[in-house]
Chains A and B, each alone.
Chain A
């Protein structure tokens, strides 16, 4: 066990810090779930790519630095330290990217990874359907091979497609075997969102933004070269992606450590008026953000030693999503009556609106990427061995 950073890691941190301080936009960008915000965030991705900071743990030929996951964590810490913009292509770089590296053909990697790294192609996720939410194996959107054997013909509907409104490409699970049931006969596919027969309809969220969309498929021709992994084995490919999402990359610990630090600052500003109970509650949030970070470093050590992320990812997803809500609820209780003021209202000084926005976003955490109730079932059955029936 060695929990001090090496000289190389410290040098890496320094380089990242200097670059970020010089390049992060002085004013925060508009939300990526608005049209102009999406474009601004894509620009930020280009800036990152030019500095070779887009995905530090990707190989050099993909614009990365061939660094390891510890370096990625360090970069994330530095990015959150200076309040760098969020990553508009997270579906691509954090989720599909690693899956492509594991399951993609050489041709697919060559085709998709470089424009993903540069965000010339931004990705949407398309898993859920109106009747396949928590029960994802109930997917009914079909993709059957046509007579020529060159195309899958896709029919059906996806929903809650993150970044669906403005993304260039999508990926998801489709039923490729006629008459198949549940986890069998599903395949993972990628597709350009502007194919003929795809209709995208934005969904207005609780916060009035359109972070996700419905996607309708009407006899859409998807070339067979866009199949990812083996036909009919899509469930396994999807689970690998979900494991990465829940277990490591989607929510880097620096995000919560940054929120915890802002919470400490907020409490200090309002120490005279904050509820008495807030003091220890703030300290506890700070502790939990540390615990999350520590567990992530532990997970990365485990991966570096040859381990694979399994059902433990479900523990992670519950921890970060519930911590996020806890921190924002506490912040709003410290802000008291001002807490409900929207960011653009004149009374919303400093980070007031930031906490409300953050709270609205945090509320989705226990729902997306597999509801926390599903995660609890996974923990009980696969980690603790409780009987399914």
Chain B
């Protein structure tokens, strides 16, 4: 029993933090918003050089063969920096291709993913849109319980602008065929369920970083802004709002780390653990965004102030990979109707 991260895992996070602090500022985000694809191939290349995209790629495909526990702090760090490049779909797609019974797609695509030469898009039934379909080299799509893999020339995309300009959503027109089919029946259901949980965990981790950052922004502002001749951060009304948000965010942390462990080890409680992480993270980030905006006052309602870069990320991530409502209902159905497999307190309940 040990809830701590290894030195290597923490160092990986620090490397990413240094990179994002230097190369991915709020000015970078605003520049990307004005670009055509809103995506940066330079940032993607640098991210791959750090090793993030090869992390989940098995060693036989030139990756590092690591797992979600190795990754989760990095995902959190991306949330801290409102980094929205298509990391989540590519990671989800990576494991999906690696887990297919037929290894030919993995052989073809995963070395490219690890090398930064391929981006993956993954559709899931809870959303009508596909994220980052416009920059994906391979799209993994679902229809009637089947999984299909298509190249960009086989799909027609319609852009659906999101409230978060960093979130690139598309409707995808496509036709399934025997050539595009990669899994069906039980195999497709299993892979699809795992992909969904993996995406939800990644979004939860990013929400955690995003929520914490918004609280810190509020506290920085409250420590500089004066009214009635004093810093507004001296008022208990402000202190207590920030503290309430911090309590919520702090308790998301172990839920997210545990969900990462459950995924990495395919625990029997994987899905409910992931849903708890995603729901708690969505709620905490929502509280953090409300509190931070209130503390910023009128400044927080402007386009110029950077806070909304993080608020928009939080709103989008909250809806991605299952909304609060969806995960809340899934927890209720497991906890109340099915009964959690390891409750009450089976030997492995924590994992």
Chain A interface residues (CB < 8 Å from chain B):
1-6, 9-10, 13, 70, 77-78, 81, 254, 257, 261, 264, 267-268, 279-280, 282-284, 286-288, 290-295, 297-298, 300-302, 304-305, 312, 315, 318-319, 373, 375-377, 379-381, 383-389
Select which of B3, B216, B279, B343 is within 8 A of A298 by beta carbon: B3
Closest Cβ of chain A: how far from B265's Cβ, in Å?
8
Select which of A279, A283, A300, A386 is within 8 A of B239 by beta carbon: A386
Closest Cβ of chain A: how far from B250's Cβ, in Å?
5
Select which of B247, B254, B350 is within 8 A of A379 by beta carbon: B247
Chain B residues near A297: list those with CB within 8 A.
1, 3, 254, 350
List of 4 A-B pairs having minimum Cβ-Cβ separation, nearest first: A380-B239, A294-B254, A301-B3, A283-B332
Q: Name the residue of chain B whose CB is nearest to the CB of A80.
A: B345
Pair A387/B69 contact, Cβ less than 8 Å: no
Select which of A1, A2, A264, A383 is within 8 A of B246 by beta carbon: A383
Pair A287/B276 contact, Cβ less than 8 Å: yes
Pair B344/A81 contact, Cβ less than 8 Å: yes
Q: Known: A301-B3, A380-B242. Is A282-B336 also a contact (CB below 8 A)?
A: yes
Given contacts A268-B336, A286-B335, A287-B279, 4 further A-B contacts (CB under 8 A): A1-B3, A286-B331, A291-B276, A292-B251
Pair B329/A6 contact, Cβ less than 8 Å: no
Indicate if B186 sits at the interface (CB-CB under 8 A): no
- Docked Cα-Cα span, A268 to B333, in Å, equals 12
Q: Determine chain A's interface SS by DSSP, over half rule.
A: helix
Chain A residues near B69: list those with CB within 8 A.
1
Q: Known: A3-B351, A295-B250, A315-B250. Is A387-B234 also a contact (CB below 8 A)?
A: yes
Of B19-27, B149-157, B255-263, the stretch lying at the interface with chain A is: B255-263
Pair A376/B244 contact, Cβ less than 8 Å: yes
Pair B258/A294 contact, Cβ less than 8 Å: yes
- Docked Cα-Cα span, A77 to B344, in Å, equals 9
Indicate if B233 sits at the interface (CB-CB under 8 A): yes
Closest Cβ of chain A: how far from B283's Cβ, in Å?
9
Indicate if B301 sits at the interface (CB-CB under 8 A): no
Closest Cβ of chain B: how far from A10's Cβ, in Å?
5
Q: Name the residue of chain B whose CB is nearest to the CB of A71.
A: B1
CB neighbors of A among B232-251 (8 A): 233-234, 236, 238-240, 242-244, 246-247, 250-251
Q: Known: A284-B328, A287-B331, A297-B350. Is A387-B280 also a contact (CB below 8 A)?
A: no
Pair B243/A384 contact, Cβ less than 8 Å: yes
- Docked Cα-Cα span, A9 to B349, in Å, equals 13
Indicate if B219 sits at the interface (CB-CB under 8 A): yes
- Docked Cα-Cα span, A321 to B177, in Å, equals 57
Q: Known: A3-B351, A6-B1. Is A386-B242 also a contact (CB below 8 A)?
A: yes
Name which of B252, B253, B279, B350 has the most chain A CB atoms within 10 A of its CB: B350
Indicate if B223 sits at the interface (CB-CB under 8 A): yes
Chain A residues near B348: list those with CB within 8 A.
4-5
Q: Known: A291-B251, A381-B239. Is A1-B257 also a contact (CB below 8 A)?
A: yes
Q: Known: A376-B240, A387-B234. Is A283-B222 also a contact (CB below 8 A)?
A: no
Chain B residues near A300: list those with CB within 8 A.
3
- Docked Cα-Cα span, A104 to B264, in Å, equals 45
Chain A residues near B254: list those with CB within 8 A.
291, 294-295, 297-298
Chain A residues near B210: list those with CB within 8 A.
none
Can you list 17 A-B contacts with CB-CB less than 8 angstroms, sorted by A residue number? A1-B6, A2-B2, A3-B350, A77-B345, A257-B345, A261-B344, A286-B335, A294-B3, A297-B3, A301-B1, A315-B251, A373-B236, A376-B244, A386-B234, A386-B239, A387-B223, A387-B234
Interface residues on B, range: 35 or more
- Docked Cα-Cα span, A284 to B348, in Å, equals 21
Pair A261/B343 contact, Cβ less than 8 Å: yes
Pair A280/B234 contact, Cβ less than 8 Å: no
Closest Cβ of chain A: how far from B237's Cβ, in Å?
11
Indicate if B4 sits at the interface (CB-CB under 8 A): yes
Pair A4/B351 contact, Cβ less than 8 Å: yes
Pair A264/B5 contact, Cβ less than 8 Å: no
Pair B223/A5 contact, Cβ less than 8 Å: no
Closest Cβ of chain B: how far from A168's Cβ, in Å?
34
- Docked Cα-Cα span, A319 to B345, in Å, equals 21
Chain B residues near A81: list those with CB within 8 A.
344-345
Name which of A292, A302, A304, A379 has the most chain B CB atoms within 10 A of its CB: A379
CB neighbors of A among B277-318 (8 A): 279-280
Q: Name the residue of chain A whose CB is nearest to the CB of B260.
A: A1
Indicate if B230 sits at the interface (CB-CB under 8 A): yes
Chain B residues near A257: list those with CB within 8 A.
344-345
Pair A2/B1 contact, Cβ less than 8 Å: yes
Name which of B254, B258, B328 has the most chain A CB atoms within 10 A of its CB: B254
Select which of A9, A261, A282 is within 8 A of B332 by beta carbon: A282
CB neighbors of A among B197-233 (8 A): 215-216, 219, 222-223, 230-231, 233
Chain A residues near B335: list those with CB within 8 A.
264, 282-283, 286
Closest Cβ of chain A: how far from B287's Cβ, in Å?
13
Closest Cβ of chain A: how far from B154's Cβ, in Å?
41
Q: Known: A261-B343, A290-B255, A386-B233. Is A5-B243 also a contact (CB below 8 A)?
A: no
Select which of A3, A5, A6, A290 is within 8 A of B261 by beta carbon: A3
Pair A377/B332 contact, Cβ less than 8 Å: no
Chain A residues near B343: list those with CB within 8 A.
261
Q: Name the residue of chain B whose CB is nearest to the CB of A290.
A: B276
Indicate if B42 sits at the interface (CB-CB under 8 A): no
- Docked Cα-Cα span, A279 to B334, in Å, equals 12
Pair B347/A386 contact, Cβ less than 8 Å: no
Pair A294/B255 contact, Cβ less than 8 Å: yes
Chain B residues near A264: list those with CB within 8 A.
335-336
Chain B residues near A375: list those with CB within 8 A.
243
Chain A residues near B222: list those with CB within 8 A.
386
Select which of B240, B280, B350 is within 8 A of A291 by beta carbon: B280
Chain A residues near B6: list those with CB within 8 A.
1
Closest Cβ of chain A: how far from B323's Cβ, in Å?
13
Q: Name the residue of chain A whose CB is nearest to the CB of B269.
A: A290
Chain B residues near A319: list those with CB within 8 A.
247, 251
Pair A3/B234 contact, Cβ less than 8 Å: no
Closest Cβ of chain A: how far from B338's Cβ, in Å?
11
Chain A residues near B247: list those with CB within 8 A.
315, 318-319, 379
